[in-house]
Chains A and B, each alone.
Chain A
């Protein structure tokens, strides 16, 4: 089926070569990092994780969100999702690949990364994250490819794929729970030491991921003859709305506990992020932008008649996605490190090279996504041609 990605319009190839160029630039920047060390980034001894780990965390959520399509379609037999579900599965594949690349980009000694498997350490959450992420990648490739292949031949998917689909449901929850446990079990990082971390992760994942999917589905319909279905998009819009409310609610819980308890170490990260401490205010505008975008997106999404207009829906999904990206892809990680273990403040800001590497990984993810979507679209277009 992969050969379908090898023929396309000029616009398709222009997009592919654009992505390859961004990947190329990212690779060059990464070569410099490999030679000179992570000193080329904005990281420091106080803020030792930054943009890379933020992107990783955010994208695990995007990957997990495929389950929001799998559950209605496969468990509740919601037929309207029959066409869109493959977009979710392939989005998960590209998101997990980006996660792995961001982890690699963050390693001080990437050549030694196999040590995680050579010296398996079940007490370390990283070990489990490697296991669940790779498992999830495999599950989605196998499920997506097999169901699409069956679709192409006009037959039902083989029986053995059903148990894998069911397995992918708890597995999706597990990848984001385990990722939350990376943070939520660390003594002394008060911003992360919260029992609702995994719940918050899932809520933000199940709103941000499907929001991106809506945008992708609208793009797919615009640029191809494949229509994921207007009703399906509306149904995903509902999922986005509910999950985003849950996410904002859970964030509110964090604020209550920190400020009503009045424990300084619990309040400080929030104060740093939203008001700044001692003139250190680098993140303040972004955190407020995130909050405002969250409120505006909800104010739009909560009204069904606004949501029904696809242009408005797309706008709401876009700002919601940006809001969550700032909150989880950036603020969440930095807030854990500021103030530092001595209640001192070292600010973090990514460097130019770090940004290029980050863009390169995103481009790699989009390349995988484009190729997979191209295949899916080609198969669906063929199907549509046969039906008519």
Chain B
């Protein structure tokens, strides 16, 4: 079979394109089969239909109570301590009533104690997460098994659409290299690189081995963690008993953190 240079180049380029395409398809197929074979869930792992939190701020009385929860989370997850507030990375933090519930902040004559109360804020793991809806790569996704809003820092392209979309400011972007700002690295948890978004992932790695989220463990009962779909769970009992509020419920994202305000006699 004879061919001139032009025909040869055509054939060569066509077969290259086909070859690359076929290789990626085969790769995908073989990858997924590997994955399926590798999953052996730990028998100790905690399971729920939809994980949720009840945060009773009346039980957070001292500065220390807040800081303990924040430090444990940031330490075990290698959250960098960026000194520049504009570039701050935070998974869980303390903020005022006004900032936590900005739509009610206009009330000038409300309960002073409540107004001065601080809240613990972290990802709401919404049932209808806006961040997941906008992500162009599925780098952030809701785990169908238990409702945790996950973040794949290896797939994230750093477009920051999720940060624009999250109504709760729960997402942080690595504006600078996070690694120099990690004081003591936890080798059990990955560190991140420049240019990706990160956030609280409800300690999925602890749930997988039967442990409660770290902040819950360190909160002395101020944060309760459980299955919102299970009417007999502790979180559901607390929600049934006490008056709870969620942040920005009017946006329809269905946050999974319920705040108990507690406080005065008549509350």
Contact = CB atoms under 8 A, between A and B. Distances in A.
B231 to A, nearest CB: 29
A141 to B, nearest CB: 20
Contacts of A340: 169
A230 interface: no
Given A39-B87, A109-B195, A45 B99 contact: no
Nearest to B194: A37
A126 B134 contact: yes
Interface string B133-177: 111111100000000000000011111110111111100111111
A386 B22 CA distance: 52
B229 interface: no
Interface residues of B, number: 50
B98 interface: yes
A113 B102 contact: no
B99 A108 contact: no
A187 B133 CA distance: 11
Contacts, number: 143
A113 B163 CA distance: 18
Contacts of A344: 99
Interface residues of B, dominant DSSP: loop
Nearest to A340: B169
Contacts of A126: 134, 136, 159, 161
B138 A43 contact: no
Nearest to A44: B86
Interface string B172-200: 11111100000000000000011111000
A186 B175 contact: no
Given A45-B172, A115-B139, A187-B252, A37 B195 contact: yes
B136 A108 contact: no
Interface string A30-47: 000000111100011110
A37 B193 CA distance: 10
A343 B173 contact: no
Given A37-B194, A115-B139, 17 more contacts: A36-B176, A45-B169, A108-B197, A109-B156, A112-B156, A112-B157, A115-B155, A126-B159, A127-B136, A130-B136, A186-B134, A186-B164, A187-B130, A188-B248, A336-B164, A340-B169, A341-B166
Interface of B: 84, 86-89, 95, 98-100, 102-103, 105-106, 130, 133-139, 155-161, 163-169, 172-177, 193-197, 248, 251-253
Q: Top 7 nearest A-B pairs by Cβ distance? A: A108-B158, A108-B195, A188-B167, A44-B86, A126-B136, A342-B99, A39-B175
